[in-house]
A and B are shown apart, each in its own frame.
Chain A
Amino acid sequence: MKELLFETKGIGKTYGTNTVLHDIDMKVYSGEVIGLIGENGAGKSTLMKLICGAEKPSMGSMYLRGEEYHSNSILESNHQGIGMVFQEQSLVGALTIAQNIFLGREKKYSKAGFVNWAAMNQDAKKTLGQVGLNFDPNKKVRDLDFAARQMVEIAKVLNVVTESAEGHAVILLDEPTTVLSNEEIENLFKQIERMKKEGNAVIFISHRLDEVLKVTDRIYVFKDGACTADMNTKDADESVLYEKMVGRSTTGEFYHEDRQTAPSDDVVLEVNDLSLFGIFNHVGFKLKKGEVLGLCGVEGSGKEALCSVLMGDEGQTSGTMSMDGREVTFKNPCKARRSGIICVPKERRDEGIIGILSISDNIVISHMEQISSRGYVSGKKMKKISSDWVQKLKIKCVSINDRINQLSGGNAQKVIFARALESGCHILILNHPTRGVDVGSKEEIYSLIRDITEKGNSVILLGDTLDECIGMSSRIIVLKDGVISGEFDFPAGEKPSQFDIVKMMM
């Protein structure tokens, strides 16, 4: 019979008076893959943090292999056999892969303070091999792409946990697939399968329900800090899970296609012959009032660079942009904002949120110049503006004076949207607006984009998935190797298949 590996009893967490998680009873058996699903802010990540030792529970107790389990740090948990792969990575860019894998454990390879790098590299290679990777362990982590780093991180945690603990280990994966390609996801699933066979338990968080259904044995569903369902995967399907998570049943109208606006003939932004040396060439298009223009292309097609030129973060080498018939040049994003273009950036944590400032400051920052009189910003006005947005976008927070880095991904993204909308700009560049956002917030964001275009503003969308891009856009421009390789017009109800577009991308 299966051994009970890990158990929580009535565990919970409060921050001040804010209870983010209460009364969670969870059982994890060895050789089992557990799925945790729920909207952002539902408490999944908090539970993970409690289990892996990053935070201490405010109530309840945990048991590992039948004994009560306490941990003060992630390191301590690792030694006891619980390891976590973080959504936001914890590798050190300037070090090599091998150094990262054995970070803090160099002792094993050192003599009198000198490290035997060759031995370390050899072991690193073995470790990487175990998860099906064939990297040179001497390579610097910063030279790897995001997906590769994620795999290295998984290899590292696996190694740490299996090496230091006796008996079976518990591995936590927090949205490991967000940035992986299909092939890499396959590989990851193979690794999960392998860990499972060895008798370890895996806890897997993902926003992609199909993955959860595919890879897990049992699913816990979270909503508002409580566990609303615990079911065997074979009894579940997407619509059941969705209903449990959101509390309402799913409809096919995910992208609100019925609300897609027909673009008017007014051109708000005209781009002519725009080039950035070595990245993209002779790009030209017209953005019309009230439309969603999708930009598609594979990584390296130049769409990201085009986006940063449009928002003023980078200067073009040649070509012109004109807004409402007047030619514009943007020296910096500030100039672009003043002309009416603002961007919701892709890397929310690095480029979006200003972490230690309040939600209110984060919302108002792009519009401060306009709401001030002679440089003076009224606190009352700021408060009113931000509480309005918090209400309108249903941002879940205790107070608008809370730091934004206390919010979950979806809620933080809504704050960034509030900032862009508050700025008064009529062209919004949305760079992966739903990256790392849960299903419920995703739908809210889609509906928000429809609101934006209904008001006559225009959107340039770089979608997180092709499906999203097709679903939302009324026109799509496909970039390939820095040039426009195709353009699709699609009114609502006549969407082309992904296949047609992928053909142009490759």
Chain B
Amino acid sequence: MTKKLNLSDISYSFSKYMYIVSIVLVFLVFTIMSPQFLSLYSLQNLALETAPMLLMSCGISFVIFTGGIDLGTGSIASCTCVITGLYVSQVGNSIILLMLVVGCVMGVINGILVSKLKLPSFIVTLCTTNFWNFVALRLSPSGSQIIPLNKRSMVNWATKDVIGFPVIFWIALAITALLYFIQQYTVFGKTILSVGANTRATRMAGVDTDKAQIAAFVICDACCALAGAFYAYKLKSAVPTVGLDLNLLSIAAVALGGASMVGGRGSVLHTLVGVITITAVTSGLEIIGCNALWKDIIIGMILILAVCLNSDSKGRDLIIK
């Protein structure tokens, strides 16, 4: 049987692969404008920039899959970046694990407020964000503080290149793979998506939806905390404002990856592509020498275009909550 293609079908399947199209376009455009873009040095730099963002976006993917949102990702990163930057010289590298624990605690707080008290995650995280910001600024009131030069040897490993790319990039990639596995092949991952697709029906099917929501926040906030620690390693200082732009940028990357903002649909792998696209745009613009003022506008326009292509104008994926 021959299938007659019509325009709406084409645009529908196009929107399904939009995230691939956009990353190819971005790389193509920058390579044409400046062949430097594909040089090893540039790619290494890209990987280094990507690593912490990747962690944050993959983490927040899980919250978005449940139909929630976490506006505090950047602030958590700021918070742990400051703690790591200030104390890594005394505690040593095990501070990374400590930050993971801190992130988990933050996630439990957010998750309990959202699931048990039935508060909207938008409001909860909007409020807790202030708290993380307070901690960051309180600990480092005079702005950024660098890690003492004589202790640098302790943190240098993170940005060293292994097989061509920095260590933290490989770590972030490994965690992404782990998260993809969790999302695709575990009870927890499947529960998360079904909570996002229809919370009520999932509850009626005898699934502990509260637990799933809390766990999603724990994963998200732990990832963000780790990202914050990576920022400290990357920048070799405690920067209390490092996460300011990242709150929304990490969400943007998930949107660019084609995840549904009301939950139930998406993939960590798509988020990976989204993150690389966004960081490629940022660093590409730097390479071609674009005025920094234009950067945000261009990113904003790309996002709107991408989300437009991805949007479900036909109501095909309408979710009933």
Contacts and interface: CB of A to CB of B under 8 A. Distances in A.
A372 B187 contact: yes
Interface stretch (B98-106, B119-127, B202-210, B238-246): B202-210
A377 B210 contact: no
B197 A333 contact: no
Contacts of B170: none
A365 B205 contact: yes
A493 interface: no
Given A332-B210, A336-B206, A419-B205, A354 B194 contact: yes
B297 interface: no
Contacts of A377: 185-187, 190
B1 interface: yes
A338 to B, nearest CB: 8
Contacts of A353: 198, 201
A128 to B, nearest CB: 28
B198 A365 contact: no
Nearest to A420: B205
A489 to B, nearest CB: 31
B113 to A, nearest CB: 18
A366 B320 contact: no
B267 interface: no
Interface residues of B, number: 30
A334 B207 contact: yes
B52 interface: no
Interface string A320-351: 00000000000011101110001101000111
B206 A342 contact: yes
A351 B187 contact: no
A199 interface: no
Given A368-B187, A368-B190, A369-B187, A357 B206 contact: no
Given A332-B208, A365-B194, A354 B202 contact: yes
Contacts of B202: 354, 365
Interface residues on A, range: 35 or more
A119 B289 CA distance: 62
A351 B198 CA distance: 8
Contacts of B146: none
Interface in A183-199: none
Contacts of A16: 3
Contact of A356 (B190, B206, B264): B264
Nearest to B2: A17
Contacts of A379: 185
A58 B208 contact: no
A89 B208 CA distance: 30
A17 B1 contact: yes
B53 interface: no
A376 interface: yes
B320 A349 contact: yes
Contact of B190 (A14, A349, A365): A365
Contact of A357 (B185, B186, B188, B194): B194
Interface in B167-205: 185-188, 190-191, 193-194, 197-198, 200-205
Given A345-B204, A366-B207, A350 B320 contact: yes
A313 interface: yes
A300 B198 CA distance: 27
A354 B197 contact: yes
A332 B191 CA distance: 16
B265 interface: yes
21 contacts: A16-B3, A313-B203, A332-B208, A333-B207, A334-B209, A350-B198, A350-B201, A351-B200, A351-B204, A354-B198, A354-B205, A355-B318, A357-B197, A365-B190, A365-B194, A372-B186, A375-B188, A376-B186, A377-B185, A379-B185, A425-B206
Interface of A: 14, 16-17, 58, 311, 313, 332-334, 336-338, 342-343, 345, 349-357, 361, 365-366, 368-369, 372, 375-379, 419, 423, 425
Interface of B: 1, 3-4, 185-188, 190-191, 193-194, 197-198, 200-210, 264-265, 317-320
Given A350-B200, A351-B201, A356-B319, 15 more contacts: A58-B4, A334-B208, A336-B206, A342-B206, A345-B204, A350-B198, A352-B201, A354-B202, A361-B193, A366-B205, A368-B190, A368-B191, A372-B186, A375-B187, A377-B186
